[in-house]
């Protein structure tokens, strides 16, 4: 790191933090630390990988120099503070149950500038695709090529890293774009969340955990700096 491109990326992150600080700070000049909100939903294990988000935020702060919250948040689609979070994190192994009203609210959040990152922990795929078909029936998930900016927002990566074997299929990132803006990123057959967990949880080798961290830093950087 340390190139002119890195400086530009960090400047965009800093600009976002300044804007959010002006909107949410309780006192003039107070900084609003960056955080990620885990989306709580019915029908599945939304709470899995408990150490992944604290580790994600810690790595983001250490590698970008941008302050992060001491702990991640948890929200539902009914939370009054939902729109204070630039990135929602959805994770699990199975079902996802959202009411029609919650689906409409998720679409409203995304159309208003929010970003959804979903990580398939193995088994989430059918439920997540069904959910996205309800949220954006006119805009299906599509594969993202290795040239997509999300793979180059902080680290230059060759694409989505393969962290866990699962069924052996290659890792693939999918997305939904609205008016040229990526609003949903979905990592399939990769499991970034498991790679972010404490080292002893899954016993992943250091290189796999590093790949997961780099991808996670890219995802949050992209969410904060995209047009």
Per-residue pLDDT of the chain (227 residues; tens, 9 = 90+): 434 444 444 444 445 554 444 333 444 445 589 999 999 999 999 999 999 999 999 999 999 999 999 989 999 999 999 999 999 999 999 999 999 999 999 999 999 999 999 999 999 999 999 999 999 999 999 999 999 999 999 999 999 999 987 788 999 999 999 999 999 999 999 999 999 999 888 878 999 999 999 999 999 999 999 98
Q: How far apart are CA 80 and CA 134, in angstroms?
A: 23
CATH architecture of 34-225: 3-Layer(aba) Sandwich (3.40)
- What is the CA angle 201-41-106, rounded to 5? 120
Structure tokens at 98: 């959202």
Q: How far apart are CA 192 and CA 76, in angstroms?
A: 22
Which single residue is written with the structure tokens 């709470």? 47
Structure tokens at 83: 């729109």
The structural domains of the chain, with segments of one domain joined by +, span 34-225
Q: How far apart are CA 60 and CA 16, in angstroms?
A: 15
Residue 187's H or E segment, with its range, is: strand 181-188
């Amino acid at each position: 790191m340390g190139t002119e491109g890195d400086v530009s990326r960090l400047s965009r992150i800093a600009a976002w933090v300044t804007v959010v600080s002006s909107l949410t700070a309780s006192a003039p000049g107070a900084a609003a630390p960056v955080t990620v909100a885990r989306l709580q939903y019915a029908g599945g294990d939304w709470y899995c990988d408990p150490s992944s988000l604290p580790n994600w935020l810690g790595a983001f702060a250490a590698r970008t120099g941008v302050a992060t919250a001491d702990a991640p948040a948890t929200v539902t689609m009914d939370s009054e503070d939902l729109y204070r979070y630039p990135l929602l994190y959805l994770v699990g192994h199975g079902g996802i149950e959202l009411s029609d009203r919650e689906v409409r609210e998720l679409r409203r959040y995304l159309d208003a500038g929010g970003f959804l990152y979903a990580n398939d922990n193995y088994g989430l795929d059918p439920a997540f695709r069904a959910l996205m078909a309800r949220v954006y029936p006119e805009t299906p998930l599509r594969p993202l090529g290795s040239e997509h900016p999300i793979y180059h927002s902080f680290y230059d990566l060759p694409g989505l890293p393969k962290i866990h074997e699962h069924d052996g299929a290659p890792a693939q990132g999918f997305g939904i774009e609205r008016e040229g803006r990526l609003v949903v990123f979905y990592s399939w057959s990769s499991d970034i969340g498991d790679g972010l967990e404490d080292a002893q949880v899954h016993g992943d080798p250091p290189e796999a955990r590093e790949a997961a961290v780099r991808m996670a830093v890219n995802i949050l950087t992209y969410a904060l700096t995209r047009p």
